[in-house]
Amino acid sequence: MSECGPPGFIEMLAAARLPGNDKAMTAGLETYREYAPRMSLRDFVHCVWTFAGAPDAPPQPIVPDGRPELIVHLGTPCQEEGAAALQPPVLFAGQVTRPLVLVSRGALACIGVRFRPDGARAFLGAPVDAATDRRLDLAAEHGGAASRLIGTARGMSDMRAAADVVEDYVAARVAGGRIDALVRDAVTKLRAGKPAGAGKDLSERQFQRRFKAEVGVSPRLFRSILRFRGVFDAVARPPNEDWVMTAIAAGHFDQPQMARDFRRFLGCTAREWIATRDGLARALAQ
């Protein structure tokens, strides 16, 4: 038997998704909501989200989706498995290319700004590949502004009001920033399953460096992340007959390749991930 389990895998994975639409989902004491960013941020930001959850969630393997994020912890910050300290209250999470497991150390309440794959450089103020597989303490990177942000956000009357404060912070950081049109075009093509390359004016090596500086990973690795993330999108689309069809629908050659990607990006089997029935990881995989 394969590590992804019997043919019932698809039904189990689909059942692990929160009910409702992809903008507002609630399960027990957990609430996850997504909001479209304000118009002035849409070149840079994919969405803004809020999450509130109970303090006793199991460890959370995070599914990569090819987009870096700003995370603001209004409650107790998570601790990364294997780390000695809690995450900083305000952090920038770069591209995730290897297993990342978050452990709850108290009641969770956080706000996230999910950037477009190539939209975070203006916010970070540096090439994004410097943050790949890292969670940067923005109090150290951005100084007092990040420290003031957490205080102001925690003083708001509700999560949506706090999210507005976080958007203000992002807007101030990206003001005057520019998107690399060549890289934006390449990202669009790759997300559509089309080839992307240097074109006439750059060598392939120059294109690779430019793409990595804006997105955080190479075009090839970005494509692999999109393919793996496609598994979680595929289970939402009927018909979901079996795990082989889900693997193929997501762009894998076969189920064993999908199983290897589970190990590569999550450090667990599909069945083990399915056992994570609650928590932030499950919400972010929607």
- pLDDT digit string, tens, across residues 211-270: 999 999 999 999 999 988 887 776 666 555 566 666 666 676 677 788 888 888 888 887
Residue 2: inside a domain: no
The model's confidence at residue 11, banded by pLDDT at 50, 70 and 90, is: very low
Half-sphere exposure of 22 (CA within 13 A, CB side): 9
User: How many independent structural domains does the chain possess?
Assistant: 1
Q: Which of 6-10, 58-62, 75-79, 121-125 has the lowest average pLDDT?
A: 6-10
pTM over 0.75: yes
- Residue ranges making up the domain that contains 40: 9-284
Q: What is the pLDDT of residue 177?
A: 94
Residue 4: inside a domain: no
Residue 3: inside a domain: no
Half-sphere exposure of 98 (CA within 13 A, CB side): 6
- pLDDT digit string, tens, across residues 163-198: 999 999 999 999 999 999 999 999 999 999 898 887
Backbone angles phi, psi at 106, to 5 degrees: 170, -175
Q: What is the pLDDT of residue 186?
A: 96
Residue 94 has pLDDT above 90, yes or no: yes
Q: What is the pLDDT of residue 14?
A: 37
Q: Tell me the average pLDDT of the chain.
A: 83
Q: 170, exposed or middle or buried, with CB in 10 Å at 0-12, 13-18, 19+?
A: buried
Residue 178: inside a domain: yes
Residue 107: inside a domain: yes
Judge contact between 70 and 112, C-beta under 8 A: yes
The model's confidence at residue 9, banded by pLDDT at 50, 70 and 90, is: very low
Judge contact between 91 and 152, C-beta under 8 A: no
Residue 219: inside a domain: yes
